[in-house]
Structure formats: C-alpha cells, structure tokens
C-alpha cells in the first residue's frame, strides 16, 4: 500500500494543526531610513512604499508601526554632510542619534536597533577609512567603536555593525564594556555577501561607492566555506546575534549557520528581494501576499529566528485584516 500523505492536507484546519514552522510579528524587524532635514517623506523610487523620513515626520510613521503590532525597528541615517572620515556617523547630535532620542521619548516601547557602518556618511561611499583605494581595516575599527558608543549613549537597544571589517565585534564590545554598557547586545552582520541584491538600498541610503566595489571586505558568494570562519570569529569576539545577508539566495547558508550555532539567527530580507516582489506584483505577474508569505516561511524553515524585512508592515496589515493567519 502506498503512503497517503495527503490525509494531513485535507482541510485548512488540518493544515493549521500540523504545521510546525511558525512566524509572529515579534520576530519581524522593520527598517527605517531617517534623513536629516525637515518636512521630508520621500518615497524611494526603487522601493515602492518605503520612504526617507525626517524626524519631524517620524511620529505618524511610528504610531502606525505600533498600532500594527511591530515592536522592533532598524535605523539607517542619511546625513546632510558627508566627508572622508564619516564624521556625522559618530556625532552625538547626528541624525541617527537624534532619531533614537526622539523615539525613546515618544515610543519607549519600541526596540531600536541601529546600523553601525560608515557608507552612508563617507563622501566616497565605502564602509571605512580609506588607504588609497582600499579600506584600512584596523583604523576603521576605532571609528566603528565610536559610532556604536554614540548610538548607545543616545538610547539604542542593540547595535548592528554591517561594515564587515575583521575584528569589529571585539572592538565594539570592548568599547561598550569600558563605558559601562555591558548589557547592550551586538547584532553582527557576520555573513554578508558582496551582492547585487543591495542595489535599491544604495539608492535609499545614498551609499553607493563612488569608485570600485566592496568585494575586498564583503564576502564572495562563490565560496561556500568562509562563512564558518566569519561566524566563529564573531561569536568568539562577543556577538549576541548572527546575521545572514541577503536571505533568499543564501538559504543554504542560513540553514547551515542555524544548525551549527546556538545564538539567535537573523535573516535580512534585503532591498532587492523586496523590490522584485513589488515589481512583479505591480505588473500582475504574481500574487504579492502569497509570495511574501512563502518567502517568510522559507527563511523560517531554513532556521531564521528573526527576519529583518521591508514587508513587515504589509504582513502586519494582512494579519490585522484577517487576510493571513500566522
């Protein structure tokens, strides 16, 4: 007799009962782009329904996020002034620092993660201090530590270094500990590939490099072994979360990382992945809601504990209107 696996798929109630991969809104993180200036709420051309927002327009956005049941956000800053050393990144009155203080005052219930990098703040668009045409790893560590400390002093709950410099977790952990912030977690962008999926984000954050690329510090997707070295190093240096970025093209890596470590695993569902879904939906080629949820469950099935996604508000709305059941 052949096996009748269809018995457990006979009805929606049956399928709900036996499913073993789950998602809840507490596991979703919504990214926000905060731009220095006033009266700004500018839609990002390559990322429909995503905006660059000034602090004076932030309150309504945050009210909506809270009402939808999203509890965690990831902040990216877009300053007015950029220079060779990204000085606005570690300015205590910089755009991210001001935004963090504003959010903590108005919405203390929101958990704030801040991106720690220099690409949005440097005039050349690279993620650190240059030595001719390449980033000087060890000098950059000092600047990254200053950025992380300034974010935490402003009230950030978690710092998330995305630069991919060797040793940055150790440097940041030491700086935070020495300044009394021993309880602040570090969400490490441990497995971050040099990916074409970041294109729309670079439009959003004005962070495209003015020359060359980032392949000397971001990882080569043709190598299927080096991510173990990255995660092991970050764990030894004091990381509290391990991230894989991008997510969908790297589900094999996400699964391998999840199987190997016992820290929370974060998947970043990046801008290019988001924009492709939005473009397909706009053209009527796909069912957006179904594709989004299939992608979310793929990341969860591969082992993600937390998902950073620009779809978070859409998912929360679908839950609220009863269009989907998580």
Element containing residue 192 per DSSP (H, E):
strand 187-192
Domain limits of the chain?
20-320
pLDDT digits (tens, 9 = 90+) for 169-228: 999 999 999 999 999 999 999 999 999 999 898 777 667 776 667 788 889 999 988 999
Mean local confidence (pLDDT), 131-141: 89
Q: How far apart are the first and last CA of the chain?
A: 35
Architecture of domain 20-320: Alpha-Beta Barrel (3.20)
How many Å is the Cα radius of gyration of the chain? 20
Pairing type for strands 72-78 and 28-35 reads parallel
Cβ neighbours for 230, distance < 8 A, ≥ 6 positions apart: 190, 191, 219
pLDDT digits (tens, 9 = 90+) for 53-97: 999 999 999 999 999 999 999 999 999 999 999 999 999 999 999
Catalytically annotated residues: 192, 245
Q: What is the pTM of this model?
A: 0.95
The better pLDDT of the pair 205, 277 is held by: 277
Q: How many CB atoms lie within 10 A of CB 6?
A: 7
Q: What is the pLDDT of residue 210?
A: 66
Interatomic CA distance for residues 222 and 269, integer angstroms: 20
């Amino acid at each position: 007799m052949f096996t009748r696996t269809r018995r457990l798929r006979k009805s929606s109630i049956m399928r709900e009962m036996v499913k073993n991969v789950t998602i809840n809104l507490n596991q979703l993180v919504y990214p926000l782009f905060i731009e220095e200036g006033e009266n700004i709420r500018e839609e990002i051309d390559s990322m429909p329904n995503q905006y660059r927002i000034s602090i004076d327009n932030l309150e309504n956005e945050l009210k909506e996020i809270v009402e939808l049941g999203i509890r965690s956000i990831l902040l990216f800053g877009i300053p007015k002034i950029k220079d060779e050393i990204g000085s606005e990144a570690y300015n205590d009155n910089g755009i991210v620092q001001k935004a963090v203080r504003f959010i903590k005052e108005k919405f203390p219930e929101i958990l704030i993660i801040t991106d720690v990098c220099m690409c949005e703040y440097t005039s050349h668009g690279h993620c650190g201090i240059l030595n001719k045409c390449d980033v000087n790893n060890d000098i950059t560590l000092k600047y990254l530590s200053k950025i992380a400390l300034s974010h935490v002093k402003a009230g950030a709950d978690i710092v998330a270094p995305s630069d991919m410099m060797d040793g940055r977790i150790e440097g940041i952990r030491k700086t935070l500990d020495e300044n009394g912030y021993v309880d602040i977690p570090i969400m490490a962008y441990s497995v971050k590939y040099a990916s074409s999926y970041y294109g729309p984000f670079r439009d959003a954050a004005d962070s495209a490099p003015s020359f060359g690329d980032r392949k000397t510090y971001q990882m080569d997707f043709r190598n299927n072994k080096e991510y173990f070295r990255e995660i092991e190093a970050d764990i030894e240096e004091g990381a509290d979360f391990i991230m894989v970025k991008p997510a969908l093209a790297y589900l094999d890596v996400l699964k391998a990382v999840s199987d190997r470590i016992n820290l929370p695993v974060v998947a970043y569902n990046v801008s290019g992945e988001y924009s492709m879904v939005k473009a397909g939906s706009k053209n009527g080629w796909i069912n957006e809601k179904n594709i989004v949820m299939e992608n979310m469950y793929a990341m969860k099935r591969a082992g993600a504990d937390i998902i950073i996604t620009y779809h978070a508000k859409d998912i929360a709305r679908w839950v609220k209107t009863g269009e989907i059941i998580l």
